[in-house]
Structure 1
């Protein structure tokens, strides 16, 4: 039988702060249609990600992938740095 990899969520966002050693906070923006007014509005959510090598800096655009829970709030690992911020 073929071993299928389980579906893991991938998030992309901007790092807004470094939350201690090997941790960073990523702000993810998504656009949704308002149910009543039919206007596109922005929704934001912050995720704490695990950065094993402490390579991400504030302002970087990063991609993170879901993993098993590392702590109470961390369940994403840093996958890739898309662009370096200022």
Structure 2
């Protein structure tokens, strides 16, 4: 099964080797037919502490680094 790749904005970089990425998705509401925006936060592994708050990054699924980290940053 292929690994998912998501893109979003870094919303937090306070922890060592970890960033919080907010990923927004848009879809049409099934009944109202209105475009809805939903966002979800993912914690991703950033080995070099290269990314700061506000950066646009891509993350890929990986084996678990910790209880909450299941993603890692693709170097861009």
What is the TM-score normalised by the length of structure 2?
A: 0.94
2:63 to 43, 58, 68: 68
Q: How many residues align?
A: 76
Q: Secondary structure at the match of 1:58?
A: coil
**What's the counterpart of residue 45 of structure 1?**
40
Unaligned 5+ segments in structure 2 are none
Question: 2:18 corresponds to which residue?
Answer: 23
Could you tell me which runs of 5 or more consecutive residues in structure 1 were left unpaired when the two chains were aligned. 1-5, 82-86
1:6-39, Cα deviation, whole Å (9 max, x unpaired): 4101010000011410000000000011111011
Please list every run of at least 4 consecutive aligned residues from structure 1 whose deviation after the TM superposition is greater than 6 angstroms.
Answer: none
Larger RCO: 1 or 2 (CA < 8 Å, sep 6+): 2
Q: Report whether the alignment pairs 1:14 with 2:9.
A: yes
Q: Could you say what the CA RMSD is over the residues aligned between the two structures, in angstroms? A: 1.0
Structure 2 equivalent of residue 54 of structure 1: 49
Alignment deviations for residues 28-73 of structure 1 (CA, whole Å, 9 cap, x no partner): 0000111110111101000000000000000000001110011111
